[in-house]
């Protein structure tokens, strides 16, 4: 017997932990999960940003809480996972969104910057997934892990885009997603990734300032960049029962840019 469509997308009674959830794409994702009915816990480095983000969600009627932590530090990741378990009871949905970038020519890329990007963009995803898997998802034999990759991880860049560490880290997120999906499917855990294209955010501000929104939009078949709604439907699909038979997949949300690259 089939399930009504609205019920398939309903997250009422579910809990979600969103890293990098205080602004930008992370906040958009948290808002979507909360609007679908989930109780949401946000984490990022700055308490003031988290307090503002939680208030924004609460004003929309979303049950939201937060904990400040540096996701590049293994001890902080363990603390966040334990705190989330204590406050939420279990973690049904994990969104690994925290990330950083660094622009420099490959020949001059600082080692410390390489390590910073790799530690936050891929090592933290491994450690947070491992912690949440062991504490909640594997024992409950249920879970949805959603990693935020990027179309920068699907192909190389032109000479104008000098982001070697970022691109490499996001490519690692893509294959991490596939590999973990293969390993944890036996625990009824779905692991998927979103691969956003150009969205206005603090991370992309330099690119928007340098190239301009119109020029960036011109590269997409839909002739637009992402907005405050464009990740919402995709993340709820991956987080809900509507996506229960989808795992190990990478979904570009990019106005069609990756289709041109693939062609």
- In this prediction, residue 155 has a pLDDT band, given cuts at 50, 70 and 90, of confident
Q: What is the pLDDT of residues 16-53, one digit of tens each?
A: 999 999 999 999 999 999 999 999 999 999 999 999 99
Dist CA 69 CA 156 (whole Å): 32
Q: Name the 3-class secondary structure at 163.
A: strand
Number of domains observed in the structure of the chain:
1
Distance from C-alpha of 225 to C-alpha of 215, rounded to nearest angstrom: 10
Instruction: Answer whether 29's CB lies under 8 Å from 235's CB.
Output: yes
- Indicate whether 93 pLDDT > 60: yes
Residue 123 sits in a domain whose CATH number is 3.40.50.720
Contact 141, 186 (CB under 8 A): no
Could you report the per-residue pLDDT of 183-227, keeping only the tens digit for each?
999 999 999 999 999 887 666 666 666 666 787 888 899 999 999
Instruction: Say how many C-beta atoms besides its own lie within 10 A of residue 37's C-beta.
Output: 16
Give Cα 219 to chain centroid, integer Å. 23
Q: What is the pLDDT of residue 131?
A: 98
pLDDT at residue 21 in the model: 96
Element (H, E) at 60: none
Q: Which member of 66, 166, 176, 184 is catalytic?
A: 166
Which residue carries 């932590």 as its tokens?
69
**Residue scoring higher pLDDT (229 or 204):** 229
Entry field: residues in the chain: 263
Active site residue 206: no
**Residue 67 structural domain:** 5-262
pLDDT at 211: 65
Q: How far apart are CA 29 and CA 236, in angstroms?
A: 8
């Amino acid at each position: 017997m089939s399930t009504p469509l609205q019920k398939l997308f309903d997250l009422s009674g579910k809990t979600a932990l969103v890293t990098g959830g205080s602004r930008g794409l992370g906040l958009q994702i948290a808002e979507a999960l909360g609007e679908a009915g989930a109780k949401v816990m946000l984490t990022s480095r700055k308490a003031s940003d988290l307090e503002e983000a939680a208030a924004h969600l609460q004003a929309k009627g979303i049950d939201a809480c937060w904990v400040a932590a540096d996701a590049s530090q293994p001890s902080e990741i363990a603390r966040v996972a334990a705190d989330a378990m204590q406050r939420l009871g279990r973690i049904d949905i994990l969104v690994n969104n925290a990330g950083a970038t660094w622009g420099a020519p490959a020949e001059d890329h600082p080692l410390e910057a390489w390590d910073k990007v790799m530690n936050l963009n891929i090592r933290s995803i491994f450690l947070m997934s491992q912690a949440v898997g062991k504490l909640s998802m594997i024992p409950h034999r249920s879970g949805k892990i959603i990693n935020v990759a990027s179309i920068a991880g699907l192909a190389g860049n032109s000479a104008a885009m000098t982001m070697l560490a970022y691109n490499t880290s996001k490519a690692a997120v893509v294959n991490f997603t596939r590999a973990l999906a293969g390993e944890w499917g036996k625990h009824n855990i779905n692991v998927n990734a979103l691969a956003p294209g150009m969205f206005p955010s603090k991370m992309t501000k330099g690119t928007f300032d340098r190239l301009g929104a119109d020029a960036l939009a011109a590269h997409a078949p839909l002739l637009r960049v992402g907005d405050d709604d464009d990740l919402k439907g995709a993340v709820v699909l991956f987080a809900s029962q509507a996506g229960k038979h989808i795992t190990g997949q990478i979904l570009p949300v990019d106005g069609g840019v990756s289709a041109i690259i693939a062609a």
